[in-house]
Amino acid sequence: MIKDGCAHVKPAAATDLSVFLLVTWSLWWQTGHEDHVGPDPPRSESNCLLRVQEVGKIRGVFVLVDEGSPLPNRVLVSLAAFFLRTWGDSDLRVLRLCSLYPSAVIFSAGKALHRGALGWKAEWLFSIIRLLRLSPALDGLEVSVALKQGQVTPTELCQRCLSLIKKTKFLNAYITVSEEVALKQAEEAEKRYKKGRSLGDLDGIPIAVKDNFSTSGIETTCASNMLKGYVPPYNATVVQKLLDQGALLMGKTNLDEFAMGSGSTDGIFGPVKNPWSYSKQYREKRKQNSHSENEDSNWLITGGSSGGSAAAVSAFTCFAALGSDTGGSTRNPAAHCGVVGLKPSYGLVSRHGLIPLVNSMDVPGILTRCVDDAATVLGILAGHDPKDSTTIQDPVKPFTLPSLTDVSKLCIGIPKEYLTPELSSEVHSLWSKAANLFESEGAKVIEVSLPHTSYSIVCYHVLCTSEVASNMARFDGLEYGHRCDSSVSTEAMYAATRREGFNDVVRGRILSGNFFLLKENYENYFVKAQKVRRLIANDFVNVFNSGVDVLLTPTTLSEAVPYTEFIKEDNRTRSAQDDIFTQAVNMAGLPAVSVPMALSTQGLPIGLQFIGRAFCDQQLLTVAKWFEKQVQFPVIQLQELMDDCSSVFENEKLASVSLK
């Protein structure tokens, strides 16, 4: 019975409920409904009513949403895909979906229940709402809202992420899982929420940290035998800032040894596997192309060196992760794993506690599932640190991003030197489409020149290896780290320690750097490379001074490649190829962010890079946020996430409803 705009209901037996699909109601008639079963729904002003006689002709669960939903499109898309696969009905197709927040109508097994303005009184419905708000596929800020509203607790959120870490262990994303630490932190966060004393947007939010950041009481290895077993007595500044805001440390993520690589394949704990290797999107494309039937054959690399952090975020095991970026090590894996990867301006974020690779280029990076989350984390991390003399002295304002609606005043630069022969046709096509998108919205898009780009790879190699040689000299086996037992001589102990402690890649870079720093080579190599670096930096200054607001470039040459293909070339060659669009940004000290744009024909993520003026990180992220909103990158359909959701649904005691 419908009375005063509301359907009055009473519970029925639980066995009557047949839930197999979630579909949002608000966009049903906006996107065309020629494929649905049953007559067209009415178009009342409130969009809240469905005639009872029409409900009986439609099977499934339909939910009307409101505009203020905390759940993004991709969460419902993933859940709907799972339900359709599990309880699929050939007579019903999934239409376009939007965010899920049950605020008006639920239909189940042909029976309707209408929620009025006063909200539900049916207790079982809240369990569904609560579960969906618990979904790890949410963004960090969305979960923060749910925490503050009491829809989920930090402990529940922590346990959900720990469960997914165990289920996705095969990805090898984590070196150390700090389960006890995280649960204790969650317990403390829960006490704060109960007292109404939340520390901020990250309080109770699970995060992960790349294993080259010092963490007090937790092993920090840099994925190297040299530091295996090393437990720092202090936290890196960025780690401490996150913990001070109540973040939950889930663990330390995998990487290339000492962050030297672009594949996350060269650490002592083994390579990291890209979650998209096991996604429904990629698996379906592989079947179409008649690839091997072996489910785990020819898996994809994540990119590097922050591949573990990117995989951890992509696989929903945390909501944000720290990486490091010396030549693209945050942006490269972000592009391959379909997440946002931010390299802040050099000097904006402290490097204290980040085990150094190249002091003049190292920057802590941020990996998240959306631009807003990256901005939130950056706002916490940015600022002066007396323990890092390179950090800026000026106070930093909060990085709250405005909703940019008008891009007509923007000038977007397209570097002509970045159109290289090695660039894949798909990346080139998406790059062009992105430029056209800005142009169609009124932005000025112009071709610009960075004339010294062709020298960046060689210049980077000289400077990088020189600083590596200097930094790695500290690992001598005396004060900390691995030490070889040798009683022959001190020199023999040094040599054996470094031979056992470093892999071939690290030793090779040390040898190259020592060569460039020899007295007879210093002027011809190192000094000249520094001069070229200045020219490269000036190229960017000239472009931005000409009126360009943001540069738009590819992040990588192509989508992620299979591991077997990646290892055909040596580490140095692969790194030079994969970082061609990202290295120069580090040498210039500029902010840059990789944003996922679309899936390739193989069902794999492709990201594009935005580069901004030095210390104009907020403007850069505002533009990136606008772009992210326009492209609506799809969520990864990972079976482990769906299994995690379904197990909770199966355990819920749901009661169906009937109309009288």
Per the structure block, which two tokens stand in for 159?
């346990």
- Is residue 210 annotated as a catalytic residue, yes or no? yes
Residue 342 CA to residue 328 CA, distance in Å, equals: 10
- Name the amino acid, one letter, at 391: T
Q: How far is CA 629 from CA 66, 190, 404, in A?
A: 18, 32, 10
Q: How far is CA 463 from CA 331, 415, 456, 510, 529, in A?
A: 20, 24, 10, 12, 7
- Name the amino acid, one letter, at 504: D
* Residue among 365, 353, 355, 266 nearest 309 (CA): 365
Q: For the chain, what is the radius of gyration of the CA atoms?
A: 26
Residue 199 CA to residue 188 CA, distance in Å, equals: 11
Per the structure block, which two tokens stand in for 57?
């002709």
Per the structure block, which two tokens stand in for 197?
């004393």
Residues whose CB falls within 8 Å of the CB of residue 31, separated by 6 or more in sequence, listed in order: 95, 96
Phi, psi of 588 (to 5 degrees): -95, -10
Torsion of CA 294, 296, 298, 303, to 10 degrees: 160
Q: If you search the block for the tokens 């000299």, which residue do you land on?
A: 473
- Is residue 305 annotated as a catalytic residue, yes or no? yes
Residue 83 CA to residue 228 CA, distance in Å, equals: 44
Strand 206-210 and strand 320-325: pairing?
A: parallel
- Is residue 103 annotated as a catalytic residue, yes or no? no
| Angle (nearest 5°) at CA 495 between 490 and 498 | 120
Is 617 within 8 Å of 634 (Cβ atoms)? Answer: no
Q: If you search the block for the tokens 């002709």, which residue do you land on?
A: 57
Pick the catalytic residue: 167, 210, 343, 625?
Answer: 210
Q: If you search the block for the tokens 């202090």, which residue do you land on?
A: 234
Q: How many helices (H) and strands (E) does the chain have?
A: 21, 19
Pick the catalytic residue: 305, 324, 512, 656?
Answer: 305
Is 411 within 8 Å of 549 (Cβ atoms)? Answer: yes
Residue 325 CA to residue 331 CA, distance in Å, equals: 8
Query: Can you say how many angstroms the Cα of residue 333 is from the centroid of all Cα atoms in its chain?
Result: 9
Pick the catalytic residue: 324, 329, 345, 600?
Answer: 329
| Angle (nearest 5°) at CA 367 between 361 and 371 | 110
Is 115 within 8 Å of 103 (Cβ atoms)? Answer: yes
Q: Is 481 exposed, middle or buried (0-12, 13-18, 19+ CB in 10 A)?
A: buried
Is 553 within 8 Å of 415 (Cβ atoms)? Answer: yes
Is 578 within 8 Å of 328 (Cβ atoms)? Answer: yes
Q: How far is CA 348 from CA 180, 325, 489, in A?
A: 32, 13, 45
- Name the amino acid, one letter, at 14: A
Beta bridge partners of 552: 610
Residue 413 CA to residue 549 CA, distance in Å, equals: 8
Tell me which residues are annotated as active site.
Answer: 210, 305, 329
